[in-house]
A = this chain, B = another copy of it.
Amino acid sequence: MDERKLKGVEAVLEEGSFSAAAERLHCTQSAVTQMMNAVESELGVRILERTHRGVSLTREGRELEVYMQNALDSLVFLREAAERIAKRNEETIRVGTFSSIAFRWMPVIIERYQEVAPEAAFDIVIGTTSLKRKLELGEIDVALGDERIRSVRWTRLFEDPYYILVPEKLIDRIGTPEKQRMMHEMMEQRKAAGVWTPVPDLFVTKADIAEVPFISATMDDFAELNVRDVSNVITIASDEDKVLMSMAARGLGVCAMPEFNLTEMPADLIAVPYRPEVGRVIGISRPRKSRRAVEQFVTYLEKYYREMEMRQREESVIQEES
């Protein structure tokens, strides 16, 4: 006995005839006859009294009516609950990303995206190198991070330039006296205003920081590519950049950090751009084929960052002109 048959009985009783029920059920009247015969055969009881002027319940049918109604209701409840869950799953985007992105970026992204797609829900999975495998196993819908997690389909979002984080104690051991002056000035400003404003023409190079210890996290691709040959490297077994920052703030050394991660930089550190400019590329990896909700989310992010980059370019043009 399934929902279809019970709905059939319900339709027959409410319409009062097989032909009217057939119309309601969008099938032939013959199918209704056969369905009702099947129901009675399955129950082993004749429940319908067929007359020329309509169909009514037999005594046995009346006795079973409440049981049939209950069964129909519970089957509908089950189906509707499953539909809700399926819809929810359909609209839940499982995002795999680094912990820093998860904490600093995802809340903003989700808040913004809710305005566009209010029904969207997110599952955030934290990971580093495991994300690529999870993506391929279908455990997450998209991976959000740098090129290390690049997989089948890659959508570039923006480039995140690296900065060197310098504690006050080490300023005088970095770069030229002119640079040291500008860094001290920047540090004064930071301590006074709490904010951190970039200074034009201030940057550091590999040579500038060669004399101070470099604090590097394991799996840090900036260190891999840019300072692997410096002598004085302190390697910290942590992916958590706050750990690196507090190490640097204590004056143990300098560290590199993408601009993106600077929002919670301690007040006793300044961030100086690194030259030649190098940045990690932030983008989205996803399988060749994704659900509608996932595609929509990726498209939104792509558009959002394209527009942001254009705004920044316009601003820099204006700055250069002034």
Contacts and interface: CB of A to CB of B under 8 A. Distances in A.
A10 to B, nearest CB: 13
Interface string A65-89: 0011011011101110111011001
B81 A67 contact: yes
Contacts of A71: 71, 74-75, 77-78
B60 A67 contact: no
A43 interface: yes
A86 B58 CA distance: 13
A200 interface: no
Interface size class on chain A is 20 to 34
B43 A86 contact: yes
A235 B270 CA distance: 126
A85 B70 contact: no
A254 to B, nearest CB: 45
A68 B81 CA distance: 10
Contact of A1 (B43, B60, B68, B79): B79
Contacts of A67: 74, 77-78, 81-82
A64 B77 contact: no
Contact of A75 (B1, B64, B81): B1
Contact of A64 (B1, B63, B82): B82
A67 B3 CA distance: 14
Interface of A is mostly: helix
Contacts of A118: none
Interface string A113-128: 0000000000000000
A64 B44 contact: no
A109 interface: no
A52 to B, nearest CB: 16
A230 B71 CA distance: 69
Given A70-B77, A77-B70, A77-B71, A60 B85 contact: yes
A78 B86 contact: no
A71 to B, nearest CB: 4
A27 interface: no
Contacts of A111: none
24 contacts: A1-B2, A1-B3, A1-B75, A1-B79, A2-B2, A43-B79, A44-B83, A44-B86, A45-B85, A45-B89, A64-B78, A64-B82, A67-B77, A67-B78, A68-B78, A70-B74, A70-B77, A70-B78, A71-B75, A71-B77, A71-B78, A73-B74, A74-B74, A75-B75
Interface of A: 1-3, 43-45, 60, 63-64, 67-68, 70-71, 73-75, 77-79, 81-83, 85-86, 89
